[in-house]
Amino acid sequence: MEGYMVSARKYRPMTFDTVVGQGALTTTLKKSIQTGHLAHAYLFCGPRGVGKTTCARIFAKIINCMSPTADGEACGVCESCRAFNEQRSLNIYELDAASNNGVEEIKNLIEQTRIPPQVGKYKVFIIDEVHMLSNQAFNAFLKTLEEPPHYVIFILATTEKHKLLPTILSRCQIYDFNRMTVKDTVAHLQRVAEQEGVKAEPEALAVIAEKADGGMRDALSIFDQVTAYCDGNITYKQTIANLNVLDYDYYFKLVDYFLGGQIPEVMTTFNEIINKGFEGNHFINGLNAHLRNLLMCRDEGTTKLLDTNDDVRQRYIEQAKKCKPQFLYRAIRKCTDCDINYKLSQNKRLLVEITLIEIAQATQDDGASAGRRPAKTLKPLFNRAAVKKSVAAAQPAVATTPTLASKPKAPVSAQPAQESAAAVVLPPDAKFDLENLTRAVKLYSQTLPQGGVRAQLFRATPRLLNADTFELKVDNPAIEAQMRQYLPDLAKYVQNALKVPSVKVVVKVVEFNPEAVLSPAQFYVKMKEKNPALAILGKEMQLHL
């Protein structure tokens, strides 16, 4: 127990060749050492656990080596290398700026720079998390950083380069470290497992690599944790159980249910996930990431953006072939909206369930790309001849005077204006004229979501400006701004419906006329003119306005 060392320290690289995932950067450093073109200050920046401090130590070891190898590595046997390996070298000075961020600490460091190295050529000062230094400390450090003694080299390391002053950045050679890919991390974990005598499934190591999120130190720490749990035999099932990671099979299964519109199966699967102890927001974020991966796999050029192992990538490619882009766009939007509203929701589970139902009901037709259902051509309930005939037959009827004693008839519920669009149809040989144009605009309005734009379009009466341009009038600048985003779709819809080469749409805002709004009394008088029976009814009931 006393001799145990965690894998992140035990397998820490000692040479540039053993550094994982930073090939271009380490090659540049090795060549600069071989040619003797060394800067006086370096800045290593990048995510956590990718080798910034490790490369700084290797760099310090090599430049002080008394007999470096031909390929630019340290020999490992000279006095300087042995002192470095035994952690007793006086040529390397490390400062943790997170806990030593004041002016006094920087002054002590500057004092150390005045003492030349006793063994080796250079004295290397490594300042970790340099962005944590105070502004006063940075100001005290500037002059020394710009013009240090010839035997001093500064290596600054940070995870947040944007927090450094421009005066610091301009004095350093900047090296950006990359995040570890899943492939590189899995390969390194496999080597560590072999040296430790641990059996590990590739799928399990891939889960560890994805959980580490690009950090090798995190990956090795998780590896130690899972190794202890699995007792030397790391399997996929045990790994996801130990790390509380949702099996990606659930996401593949859910998407298949979505495509089949199988809402009961979707609800049952989600209930199973909740019973396993997973939070709704973690699940919805995982589903969103899964949908994003499917979107990336729809094109060979973007498949490489999927950072996972080859077997899982092939599953994504196969499922992506079943999904249309419009479905994925809409599903991703639904998941994103759910994630945004999750914290504010009082019933979080219901919010996620409604989101899943909406995704399962999402159409895969082209009209779904704009977040709306495709237009449906509905047959009219009555044809024109029947309507005219019934109206003509009703004309001779004499209006009877209603009495108070008579039993009132059940009121006829007025249907919304939008419902009457069911009777709007275009003839097969419709031409580009005002009548057919009005019908086409009304039909297009039914493809839009409920709202002001849909109502305005349905009530609008287009005005032909020329052979291929028509105008729509609205009385609200806000509605006009919203309507503009639908104009390209409207023009294309009218062009296809009326079979014309091209169509242009112009929106005009008309000023609001208060005089056009009738008072209740004026409205009553106008209605009496249209329907004399209303006047008789008002007289019988002694109504006065």
Mapped to the 3 state alphabet, what secondary structure does 45-88 carry?
A: ECCCCCCHHHHHHHHHHHHCCCCCCCCCCCCCCCHHHHHHHCCC
Tell me the pLDDT of the chain averaged across its residues: 81
Cα distances from 95 to residues 132, 137, 146, 149, in angstroms, run 11, 13, 18, 19
User: What is the per-residue pLDDT for 286?
Assistant: 92
State mean pLDDT over 443-471. Answer: 80
Closest CA to 39 of 171, 176, 177: 171
CB-CB contact of 479 with 507 (8 Å) = no
Say if residue 420's pLDDT is above 60: no
pLDDT-derived band at 269, boundaries 50, 70, 90: very high
Closest CA to 164 of 128, 141, 138, 131: 131
Say if residue 512's pLDDT is above 70: no
Say if residue 290's pLDDT is above 60: yes
As to burial, measured by CB atoms within 10 angstroms (0-12 exposed, 13-18 middle, 19+ buried), residue 504 is middle
Within a 10 A sphere around the Cβ of 500, how many other Cβ atoms? 14
Cα–Cα distance for residue pair 257/299, rounded to 1 Å: 23
Cα–Cα distance for residue pair 87/381, rounded to 1 Å: 90
Supply 371's token pair.
Answer: 């977040």
User: What is the per-residue pLDDT for 503?
Assistant: 84
- Bigger pLDDT: 1 vs 485: 485
User: What is the per-residue pLDDT for 413?
Assistant: 40
Say if residue 70's pLDDT is above 60: yes
Torsion, Cα of 214, 216, 222, 225 (10° steps): 180
How far is C-alpha 359 from the chain's CA centre?
17
Cα–Cα distance for residue pair 121/33, rounded to 1 Å: 13
Say if residue 409's pLDDT is above 60: no
What digits encode the pLDDT tens for the residues 224-262? 999 988 888 889 988 988 888 888 899 999 999 999 888
Residues counted in the chain: 545
User: What is the per-residue pLDDT for 363?
Assistant: 56
Sheet holding 173-176: strands in order across? 92-96, 123-128, 152-158, 41-45, 173-176
What digits encode the pLDDT tens for the residues 367-401? 444 444 444 444 443 444 444 444 444 444 444 44
What digits encode the pLDDT tens for the residues 124-151? 999 999 999 988 888 888 888 889 999 9
Cα distances from 360 to residues 249, 283, 288, in angstroms, run 18, 16, 14
pLDDT-derived band at 545, boundaries 50, 70, 90: low
User: What is the per-residue pLDDT for 398?
Assistant: 42
- Read off the amino acid at residue 181: T
Exposure class string for 40-60: b at 16+ Cβ within 10 A, else e: bbbbbbbeebbbbbbbbbbbb
Cα–Cα distance for residue pair 292/289, rounded to 1 Å: 5
Closest CA to 498 of 423, 422, 435: 435
User: What is the per-residue pLDDT for 417?
Assistant: 42
Supply 461's token pair.
Answer: 């009466």
Cα–Cα distance for residue pair 182/208, rounded to 1 Å: 9
Helical spans, DSSP H, in 468-512: 477-484, 487-498
pLDDT-derived band at 156, boundaries 50, 70, 90: very high
Supply 172's token pair.
Answer: 């350093």
pLDDT-derived band at 444, boundaries 50, 70, 90: confident
User: What is the per-residue pLDDT for 384?
Assistant: 46
User: What is the per-residue pLDDT for 442?
Assistant: 84
Helix (H) / strand (E) element for 104: namely helix 103-113
Region at 102 (left for phi over 0; alpha for psi -120 to 50; beta for the rest)? beta
User: What is the per-residue pLDDT for 336?
Assistant: 94
pTM for this predicted structure: 0.61
Supply 381's token pair.
Answer: 């309930």
Supply 110's token pair.
Answer: 């500057």
As to burial, measured by CB atoms within 10 angstroms (0-12 exposed, 13-18 middle, 19+ buried), residue 360 is buried
- Least-confidence region, from 58-72, 328-342, 419-433: 419-433
State mean pLDDT over 489-514. Answer: 78
User: What is the per-residue pLDDT for 495?
Assistant: 82
pLDDT-derived band at 542, boundaries 50, 70, 90: confident
- Least-confidence region, from 191-200, 395-404, 416-425, 469-478: 395-404
User: What is the per-residue pLDDT for 414?
Assistant: 39
Cα–Cα distance for residue pair 443/425, rounded to 1 Å: 8
Cα–Cα distance for residue pair 354/349, rounded to 1 Å: 9
State mean pLDDT over 23-38. Answer: 90
State mean pLDDT over 355-365. Answer: 79
User: What is the per-residue pLDDT for 519?
Assistant: 66
Cα–Cα distance for residue pair 72/63, rounded to 1 Å: 9
User: What is the per-residue pLDDT for 193?
Assistant: 92
Say if residue 157's pLDDT is above 90: yes
User: What is the per-residue pLDDT for 2?
Assistant: 60
Percent over 90 (pLDDT), the chain: 29
Within a 10 A sphere around the Cβ of 199, how many other Cβ atoms? 12
| Helix, strand, coil % in the chain, rounded to nearest 5 | 55, 10, 35
pLDDT-derived band at 220, boundaries 50, 70, 90: very high
